Structure 1
Amino acid sequence: MFNGGMSDGVGSGRRITGVGVPPAAEISGHGLRLRPWRPESAEDAAAWLRGVRDPEFLRWNTPLRTVGSLDDARGSLRARLEEARQGVATAFCVTDAGSGAVLGHLGVNTVDPFLRTARVGYWVLPEARGRRVARRALALASAWGFEGAGLHRLELGHALGHDVSCRVAERCGYRFEGELRGAMFEAGRHDAFRNVHLHARLASDPYPPVDAPADGARPGGTRPGGADPDRNPRGADPGLGHGAV
């Protein structure tokens, strides 16, 4: 974890200390293992390429740069590692805890070290959808963000109309806070914009149960014991709020 400092701006000489997220650690739970991406791994590069080229992903996300080859994918993953070294973002490869198969991606991005905020985003590979992968991974990464990285607030945004992602956010305790106008690129365009639903969760909010009901009820519960193509406006990770779960 890196620390930075800035003046309070009133001439007192007092320093305000900022906190950056540490590099991705291995996190296990809910049948998943979240680990760092490995740029030199053929399996990881192929999974990244498939994830960011998937038509469902591209329906809801418009990367700034095209990832069209395995070399491009490795370059994206190396950029992720560099961001992690700088403490400004952390990228997790979401895998099955039993088989080790790659299921998707979850990023903790756009870290503000002074307000201790970040934005989360994810995508899930087609063959892993329908298994609550996004919800389980988001629950793990959220706990890590608050308890492991010392963050105060996590935000999640998704394109207006992405109802599945809206439900994932709510069931993971991310409250709907409003609609942001023109905060994300339109699908396949860099010259037009669409609105975004903003959800957020605070470190002080209750931890919802991971097995939240599928009837649309909002999550509740208590704290348990125990787009590079990678960026869009407003912190859109490839797969920010991507609800193909």
Structure 2
Amino acid sequence: MTNITLRADATPSAPALILRPWNEDDIEPLIEAHRDPVLRRWTNPIETFDDALKWLDVQNQGWATGERMSFAVHEEGRLLANVVLKRTDHPESAEVGYWTAAHARGRGVAPRALEALTVWAFEAHGLARLELLHQVDNLASCRVAEKARYEFLRVLPAQPPYPRDGHLHVRRSA
């Protein structure tokens, strides 16, 4: 397990965000977040303690291999979201992803957390390009991408595991 911690500074209207690798203390809040039907629409549901342990194992394995670096996003000790950096076949690019718990939506959590992850990805991993994909009907994800300065590039045709067409957004290092 890694001890990397990222931070999104406080704003005039919101406390700082702490981004750290997931751990077993996050199991109950993770299960609670996945009770939300909106989140379940876009992710694989985590319903039980065993589901959460399996999900945490995937996150830990991702850190161990460097293929998937997932962060629990906290504000004042409360779980708000997830952001993840996923390596691709191209050595200079990676994909980012995120979800936000229902109680944290509409507060700018996802764009702030995504910005912290993006800066870290470019600085720590020397990446030239980050990709963000979402289904075309996920309007909230599109707004997050725009707020985090990920440029819309094109529509992607539906292909498993995505049942609908998607948007590809890209951000390039400065």
Length-normalised TM-score, structure 1: 0.64
1:185 shift after superposition = 4.2
Amino acid in structure 1 at the alignment position of 2:83: L
8 Å Cα contact 1:176-1:197 kept in structure 2: yes
Measured in 2, the distance between the counterparts of 1:55 and 1:144 equals 31
The match for 1:200 is 170
Measured in 2, the distance between the counterparts of 1:150 and 1:76 equals 28
Identity %: 35
Q: Determine whether 1:92 maps to 2:71.
A: yes
3-state DSSP of counterpart to 1:198 = strand
Amino acid in structure 1 at the alignment position of 2:42: W
The match for 2:12 is none
1:114 shift after superposition = 4.5
The match for 1:55 is 37
8 Å Cα contact 1:94-1:104 kept in structure 2: yes
Q: In the alignment, which of 156, 162, 182 is matched to residue 138 of structure 2?
A: 162
Q: Determine whether 1:180 maps to 2:156.
A: yes
8 Å Cα contact 1:24-1:91 kept in structure 2: no
**Higher RCO, 1 or 2 (CA under 8 Å, sep at least 6)?**
1
1:115 shift after superposition = 2.7
Match runs of 1:1-245 below 5 Å? 23=2, 25-30=4-9, 31-38=16-23, 40-41=24-25, 44-61=26-43, 63=44, 66-96=45-75, 99-109=76-86, 111-112=87-88, 114-183=90-159, 185=161, 193-204=163-174
8 Å Cα contact 2:7-2:18 kept in structure 1: yes
RMSD: 1.9
Q: Which runs of 5+ in 1 are unaligned?
A: 1-21, 187-192, 205-245
Q: Which runs of 5+ in 2 are unaligned?
A: 10-15
Amino acid in structure 2 at the alignment position of 1:100: G
- Structure 1 residues 152, 56: CA separation in 2 closer, same or farther (over 3 Å shift)? same
Measured in 2, the distance between the counterparts of 1:69 and 1:151 equals 36
Measured in 2, the distance between the counterparts of 1:150 and 1:35 equals 20
Q: Could you list the per-position Cα deviations for residues 102-134 of structure 1 after superposition, in whole angstroms to 9, with x for gaps in the alignment?
A: 11111111x136432111111111111121000
The match for 1:215 is none
> When you count helix as a share of all residues, which structure comes out higher?
2
3-state DSSP of counterpart to 1:183 = coil
The match for 1:240 is none
Measured in 1, the distance between the counterparts of 2:3 and 2:170 equals 21
Amino acid in structure 1 at the alignment position of 2:116: L
Over alpha carbons, which structure has the higher Rg? 1
Q: Number of residue pairs matched?
A: 168
Measured in 1, the distance between the counterparts of 2:35 and 2:95 equals 22
8 Å Cα contact 1:183-1:196 kept in structure 2: no
8 Å Cα contact 2:73-2:83 kept in structure 1: yes
8 Å Cα contact 2:39-2:101 kept in structure 1: no
Length-normalised TM-score, structure 2: 0.88
